[in-house]
């Protein structure tokens, strides 16, 4: 698994979870550059394995980070730590479209230019 760069396409992630006393549900989140950067910083501080050695954990961390930023995400998924998040979820995988291909979010840090004639 290769970490996307700032202008690469980040895959949307599908998070399956089962809230206590409720049926299982799925949420699609949109991790981006900031979530990947948070993963790299946390990985270095905590001494976690490299991305290629623990791709499932990296995917779960980036999903957790993206969900924490999403005001519409269910509260049960907004855990204070990634360890608590792992206790709540059942699975994290790339979200797939109707053709079975990964759904991506284009991340482009370039600001648009001024309108024509400006």
In-domain check, residue 108? no
Q: What is the pLDDT of residues 53-88, one digit of tens each?
A: 999 999 999 999 999 999 999 999 999 999 999 999
In-domain check, residue 109? no
In-domain check, residue 48? yes
In-domain check, residue 22? yes
In-domain check, residue 103? no
Q: Is 9 in a helix, a strand, or coil?
A: strand
In-domain check, residue 116? no
In-domain check, residue 111? no
Q: What is the pLDDT of residues 90-100, one digit of tens each?
A: 999 988 877 77
In-domain check, residue 36? yes
Half-sphere exposure of 77 (CA within 13 A, CB side): 30
- Radius of gyration of the chain from Cα atoms? 16
* Domain, as residue range, for 53: 9-97
pLDDT at 5: 52
Q: How confident is the model at residue 7 (pLDDT cuts 50, 70, 90)?
A: very low
Number of domains making up the chain: 1
């Amino acid at each position: 698994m290769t970490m996307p760069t700032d202008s690469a396409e980040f895959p949307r992630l599908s998070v399956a979870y089962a809230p206590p006393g409720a049926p299982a549900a799925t949420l699609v989140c949109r991790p981006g550059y900031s979530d990947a950067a948070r993963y790299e910083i946390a990985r270095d501080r905590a001494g976690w394995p490299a991305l290629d050695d623990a791709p499932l954990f990296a995917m779960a961390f980036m999903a957790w980070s993206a969900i924490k930023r999403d005001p519409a995400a269910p509260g049960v998924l907004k855990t204070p730590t990634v360890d608590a998040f792992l206790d709540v979820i059942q699975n994290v995988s790339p979200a797939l479209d109707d053709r079975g291909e990964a759904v991506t979010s284009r991340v482009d840090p370039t600001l648009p230019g001024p309108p024509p004639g400006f």
